[in-house]
Structure 1
């Protein structure tokens, strides 16, 4: 087969549109696969100018989120742009596959990289003007790259092919000012927000999609979108993301976010919050069930030693039913049974603590805080302070962290460590009726408390305190080393800056 420019061996067609077709090709000099865009210029000086400018822009852009041009060919009245080849799918294709394709965390990572690429283009004076899911390709690891700078515009540079009055872009994703034949420095902000709103909604079409181009453009100018609707597990992040999208999709470009930086920050903060939550949950799982359900198990087996006397068997029955539901992870049903026991007069720190655990498991942390607080109120009056109140303080600290009440969390963790250290020093603080904890169990609880406090110090950018607490946690429980290593590495790096 004849080589293009004696270098490129053309293969299958990857795609085709009104302005050209893209071939997969082999660069015989480097033995690398490339993509070659064959442009349909048809002796049109305006189109030829656009093709040349697209190559120059792609050639000058050096960013991992923007496809880079390699070569430009012109012969036999044909024009070709040689680009790096990305093996993957477009964002459009990913969205069509549906909600279960990637997790919310991966969506955030993709959105962050898209915003970083758009920010890079805009910062370098380039307005893409045709951002859409079809123009974003994802590699095998879901790293996005922006394609097609064919109608991109350099800020403050007047080109005959981009003069005011021409509608340029894709109707369902273009900004309102583009419909008027104009473009603003933040036109790409609007388009990016529309793309990501669709992506997080898993909608098959743009939220402004109409029955035709005129209908779609009318929607862009007039339609107000409802707040973003996320999966139940991520409802807590809807308000922040909703406000961010609203600012980025304001119809008046002068009132719209000036850059995609507002979205970028929101996505990064959301991702950071989710990962912080994952770290906290992971450490609790890693150290075993002692701190999360250890008290629950003890109360289930030995509740006769703890519960208040009551002539009626009904409270006990409801408590046991609640325990059964808890063990089956039917937390709402467990709460119902525990409340029945309370209504029948059975009130104690233990039952309130168990309700707190149920609400924590349902990720209703504000409610869990209320019940942990009630449990601690009951325990506080006991001799030497009930040793299991350490678990109450720890669980409330965890809930405080997950609701970003960091100062309160720190106080509870300090109290947890104080009680546990007393227990370790005196062998046990329990009465004769209570089960004594082994040294290993106390060390595991201390390790969990130090680890969580270390994570909290890291979030507060107290790197030295982070390192100290995580080291203590690892010493007490070496199994935490793997999880602590990433945070330790980051904390040490921060100290060197």
Structure 2
């Protein structure tokens, strides 16, 4: 199973630890995992969270998503008697040898370790109050705007350039060299320049602390907006936000960078001075350089892909984006399921927009090879889904290379819909066009004959199979319609046209 290391001090931690016992950083949000593995055993085990059976070689529980405790990790039964008698005075968690912090609540043990009951809460010692202070003779700290496992966040004023900035504390430690190393490891972020990504202005160290200075984005996160409105986003709005942020992921992929922790909390809708809005990634603290087996990776429970525990990549970022979109339109329970998609009947948005559901199923497929492999590919299909959704609204134009302009079918069992454009490269394009003309005139039988003729020309025509299925549904021939849909699913699983 996977061993875990603290992203700051790089000491070993148990996967179930909430606090690093060496440096005191909070580990639970976001989750971080290292890919180093130990020799699996044949012992049958159960997940410590949901108690479901797991294999000894599994690194994450497929039922609840919990990162499993590393094999051979030190448990309380392994500790010497004298050490086990020493407990944290706050939560009574047994202390392990030579550890400075309690793994459960974060209390910092005093210098007189053995038998001492004196401890200080790590939350009060990780970062000293900065309000009113001027860092690096330039940044005046005015307000605390957040604090999490990856560091405290402050709103400050740049006294030289006269602008507001955001300052994030990277690490507080007794070792200045460790602080300098932490800052050095993040300096590659300054090279990221994209309109949909928050800008990095500066890296500074002061005393025993490191800080990152970032652009202040004026707006609200998608999570905040969703909480304020008290319901999920309309599907079209959520899709537009995701389409707006996908160019940032295309850019990161070209730089061989992995974002790792995309979620509604990390994307902000910024209102510009001209009244327009733009979506931005606002937290680069979890960005890593892509490598096959990275030392530390990050993610949030319910959003990351199963294989991201071992090998995060630009493609696992796309999985996380699809899970985020699914949550934005449904507010679904991220623990049911932890991976993939719930049944469509459980949430209204998935029932109302089957093409969107199909796309999300493809994007979160259990087999990585069957997902999207580039941000451009995801954007192209997602734009098609958006056009289909908006094309089902009266008076909304649907001009697109994916949809036929001003074509709406208003009668029949399928109701109002936007008509997906034919693939002009299809060998059966001629009978397909004729079939569409017959369909628009209401001659279903003639349309079906022409679509079937198209299949004799090209048996793998996505458009011919889809059109046949639609007509057969109109004719209430559900058995043959299902046959066509099944062939489509086998031919192009997860394609947005397969609805």
Q: TM-score, normalised by structure 1?
A: 0.49
Q: TM-score, normalised by structure 2?
A: 0.49
Which has the larger share of helix?
Answer: 1
Structure possessing the higher relative contact order (Cα contacts under 8 Å, 6 or more residues apart): 2
Which has the larger share of strand?
Answer: 2
